[in-house]
Amino acid sequence: MSQENEYGAGQIQVLEGLQAVRKRPAMYIGSTDTRGLHHLVYEVVDNSIDEALAGYCDDIDVTIHEDGSVSVADDGRGIPVDTHEQYDRPAVEVIMTVLHAGGKFDNKSYQVSGGLHGVGVSVVNALSSTLEVEIKRDGALWRHEFERGEPKPDGFEKVRDLEEGEERGSSIRFWPDDDIFETTDFEFSTLANRLRELAFLNSGVEITLTDERESEAVETEDGDTEPRFERFRYDGGIREFVEYLNETKTPLHDDVVYFDDEEEGIQVELAMQATDELQGSIHSFANNINTREGGSHLTGFKTALTRVVNDYANSNGLADEIDGNLKGEDVREGLTAVISVKHPDPQFEGQTKTKLGNSEVRGIVESAVHEGLGTYFEENPDTAAMVVSKAVEAAKARQAAKKAEELTRRKSALESTSLPGKLADCQTRDPAEAELFVVEGDSAGGSAKQGRDRKFQAILPLRGKILNVEKHRLDRILENNEVRALITAIGAGIGEEFDIEEARYQKVILMTDADVDGAHIRTLLLTLLYRHMKPLIEAGYVYAAQPPLYRVRYRGETYDAMTEAERERIIEEVCDGNPTQVQRFKGLGEMNPDQLWESTMDPENRILKRITVEDAAAADRMFSVLMGDAVGPRKQFIKDHAGDAEWVDI
């Protein structure tokens, strides 16, 4: 046997300490792209929030520094600095360097916590080139420094005694390791969305976010500049969260339905408000963690909500106009709700915690919502009537569509086994290999069909702009031929019946022109996918193609540029200021098949942008602003962000 293929004791590697984290970082933070980068901040902030939940912290300050580092400071109890008996080292060093070391396993120091695995801050340390900790505790200011997870020699020191009345607390500052991460550039808005969410979920806690980077400075009224800054504090908690989500919508009742309950040490909190929108917006949290994939608490809420609304409607004769009971989709139409549970021992799926698995939570939430919401409806009949009437309206539309003979019923639109005639399908039947290009226009579709690799690339040209699904119910949406063609091509259904396991492609690539109309068409398609096929986006199956705007020719070579600035850089640096030819692509249809393949479709050369949903609440709100009926918020958004536009093609 050759030495290369030997497999024995000598080939067994043991990764000790934080080596495993640096070797396989995605196992601990999900990815090493921008999502994983921001997850580092969340892990540190979660520790401060846990101090707030325990009743010891009121203020949390997050700062993005000019040198690319981030610091998180709080006024909690401070990380312990006394000697840990088992390791004979300062406790802070153990917490920072040993996985699964923390004070959240026995419910003595923390009754409720989001960071239960005890790996959060040690993972941040492992994935940082440098990390500094400052602690105000036990009458002194202490400091400890680390490099790539390892404590610096003599890095732990007592800096000075605390002055009388000086606040306690901890501050952690870290520099993400650029050997690990694809990017180390933090986005202010991404952090702001999460910190705002945490402030809503923890009423009374004040969280500030400051960006000291010169590139992010904002201009003051007198012409000076100052660091970008936001402060978040919501004494109304998740009631204010619902009001915030509904700022761009029209609520059907003024008051936000709210109640909380506690059973077996599990706290349940609910806030909801019905609106005149067609899209619902329901967000679930467990121990402050955004459970984007839901779980037992969300299932319990949905079940109880449908039952309570049906009970109230039937006992008060409010649903006599419909056949049978209201369905869950009827009750949730246009409903904005936030359900938050706090559990002493939550079971999450994976370290990134996107789904709550505790089976007992479903019954507890179901019972709490049934009792709390039932009582609220009895005490507030006007609000109850509004919620029920909205659900009845949705049910009537659903039942009318079901009875219609046209192809407006969901079933008839999706039962057809034949693929749309305009689809040029690929040869492979393996979804993991198959790509579907959704192309704007027949002209570009023709070029794409000729230029593609038919083994794994399918082409679906769409004519014109599809329906804005934000403003229509599903029965109306299914009347649109282009929408039906896309649904049938993907093959996984739509809405409540969507099954991602049936998806025929694991890459759905939106390929539209690099102009205003192309951006609008892409937004319409994304609205459809987000509202009615959301698991596709959550699974990372949706991409936007990035066709070049310019092609520069020089000495027999071609160079593609995505922006005007990139075009100028190529001309200056590559062509010595003298290109042979510069071609401006007005649209995909102007490219011949070879050009389209080389620049936009060839896996070796193309640039694809994966569409992700980091913050479902922020995404919900943004789709309502951009695609809803309210004009005012959309005009304000354009006014606020016009300066951010990289190019305007008019």
Q: What is the pLDDT of residues 372-399, one digit of tens each?
A: 999 999 999 999 999 999 999 999 888 8
105: three-class secondary structure by DSSP? coil
Listed ranges 161-170, 379-388, 516-525, 579-588; the one with the highest mean pLDDT: 379-388
Alpha helix stretches (DSSP H) within 461-581: 474-477, 481-490, 516-532, 534-538, 564-573
Q: Mean pLDDT, to the nearest integer, of 357-379?
A: 94
- What is the reported pLDDT for 649? 41
- What is the reported pLDDT for 177? 94
Amino acid (1-letter code) at residue 247: E
Q: Is residue 1 pLDDT above 50, yes or no?
A: no
- What is the reported pLDDT for 386? 93
Q: Is residue 105 pLDDT above 50, yes or no?
A: no
pLDDT in tens, 258-295: 999 998 889 999 999 999 988 889 999 998 888 888 89
- What span, in angstroms and rounded, lies between the C-alpha atoms of 82 and 511? 59
Residue 538 annotated as lining a ligand binding site: no
Residue 82 annotated as lining a ligand binding site: no
Q: Active site residue: 134, 513, 615, 620, which one?
A: 513
Reported confidence tier of residue 414, pLDDT bands at 50, 70, 90 = low
- What span, in angstroms and rounded, lies between the C-alpha atoms of 339 and 361? 12
Listed ranges 1-5, 51-55, 161-165, 365-369; the one with the highest mean pLDDT: 365-369
The mean predicted confidence, pLDDT, of the chain is 85
Reported confidence tier of residue 520, pLDDT bands at 50, 70, 90 = confident
With CA atoms as reference, report the closest residue to 432 among 502, 538, 504, 533: 504
Amino acid (1-letter code) at residue 607: I
- What is the reported pLDDT for 220? 83
With CA atoms as reference, report the closest residue to 297 among 282, 312, 309, 279: 282
pLDDT in tens, 192-218: 999 999 999 999 999 999 999 998 888
- What is the reported pLDDT for 403? 66
- What is the reported pLDDT for 116? 40
With CA atoms as reference, report the closest residue to 448 among 324, 587, 580: 587
Reported confidence tier of residue 117, pLDDT bands at 50, 70, 90 = very low
Q: Active site residue: 58, 59, 311, 515, which one?
A: 515
Domains assigned to the chain:
19-232 (3.30.565.10), 238-403 (3.30.230.10), 410-547+610-644 (3.40.50.670)
- What is the reported pLDDT for 213? 94
pLDDT in tens, 553-577: 888 888 888 888 888 888 888 888 7
With CA atoms as reference, report the closest residue to 138 among 110, 114, 159, 117: 159
> In the chain, what percentage of residues exceed pLDDT 70?
85
Q: Is residue 111 pLDDT above 60, yes or no?
A: no
Tokens 């019923």, residue? 409
- Residue 407 in contact with residue 478, Cβ under 8 Å? yes
Residue 321 annotated as lining a ligand binding site: no
- What is the reported pLDDT for 3? 52
- What is the reported pLDDT for 646? 45
- Residue 442 in contact with residue 463, Cβ under 8 Å? yes
Q: What is the dihedral of CA 82, 83, 89, 93, to 10 degrees?
A: -30
Sign of CA dihedral 84, 88, 92, 98: negative
- Residue 274 in contact with residue 254, Cβ under 8 Å? no
Q: Active site residue: 33, 187, 311, 517, which one?
A: 517
Active site residue 513: yes
Count other Cβ atoms within 10 Å, centred on residue 574.
14
Active site residue 517: yes
Q: Each residue of 243-253: b (16+ CB within 10 Å) or e?
A: bbbbebbebbb
Q: What angle do CA 471, 474, 480 make, to 5 degrees?
A: 85
Reported confidence tier of residue 406, pLDDT bands at 50, 70, 90 = very low
pLDDT in tens, 12-67: 554 566 888 888 888 888 789 888 899 999 999 999 998 998 889 999 999 999 99
User: From edge to edge, which strands make up the β-sheet containing 608-610?
Assistant: 457-462, 435-440, 507-511, 542-545, 608-610
Single pTM value for the model: 0.75
Active site residue 378: no
- What is the reported pLDDT for 28? 83
- What is the reported pLDDT for 349? 74
Q: Is residue 133 pLDDT above 60, yes or no?
A: yes
- Residue 186 in contact with residue 41, Cβ under 8 Å? yes
